Amino acid sequence: MGKMIVFGLMAAGLVLGGCATAVEKEVETKVAAEAPATQPGELAAKGFETWASSTSLNADQKSRLATIHSSTAREAIRIRGEITKTKSALFKELAKGNYEAKTINTLKTKIVKLDQERLEVMFKALDSVEKTIGRGEDAQKYYRFLEVMEAQPVREF
């Protein structure tokens, strides 16, 4: 849902901002070509193994990546939990039938802010990874790992 909100906001920005630039069109094409993950837990484990078993990374790099991974995962789990709780409160409020629009809008705004926070955590992790391993093949493997982690659905029920 968070990705849909972000995509919707981006699409609305494009409509309001006029014609899309060539870069925006290229990005939209790349995003449209992506397939959702089918077995996210399994894929994430394989991604983790990829960089953890890399022979071109030294022990210090692996240690820093493990720290980045664990702190990012902790934050992502915390934020996803807050999103789930907020969505639950939203659904319960809507189920009342006679709800206050201000309450619904406040809950929606909170979900969007939490999703933005989750994205900020991910972007911070990407910056830290780049500082740790640069832009070479090992970086590409790790970014694929993060991509898989990001694609994992939030379990809501």
Q: Two tokens at 69? A: 């991974």
- CATH number of the domain residue 142 falls in: 1.20.120
Say which range, 36-40, 71-75, 112-116, 144-148, has the weakest mean pLDDT: 36-40
Task: Please check whether residue 101 lies inside any domain of the structure.
Answer: yes
Instruction: Check whether residue 30 and residue 88 sit in a common domain.
Output: no
Q: What is the pLDDT of residue 38?
A: 45
Query: DSSP class of residue 53?
Result: T
Domain count, the chain: 2
Are residue 82 and residue 53 in the same domain, yes or no?
yes
Mean residue pLDDT across the chain: 74
Percent of all residues in the chain with a pLDDT value above 90, rounded to a whole number: 21
Examine residue 92 and state whether it is found in any structural domain, yes or no. yes
Residue 156 maps to a domain:
no
Query: Tell me, what's the pLDDT at 44?
Result: 47
- Domain span at 125: 38-151
Shared domain for 133 and 108, answered yes or no, is yes
Residues 64 and 107 in one domain: yes
pLDDT, tens digit, 9 for 90 and up, residues 18-56:
567 887 776 777 667 765 544 434 444 455 566 677 777
69-83 CB burial, b ≥16 within 10 A, e <16: beebeebbeebbebb
Cβ pair 96, 32 in contact under 8 A: no
On whether both 27 and 48 belong to a single domain, the answer is: no
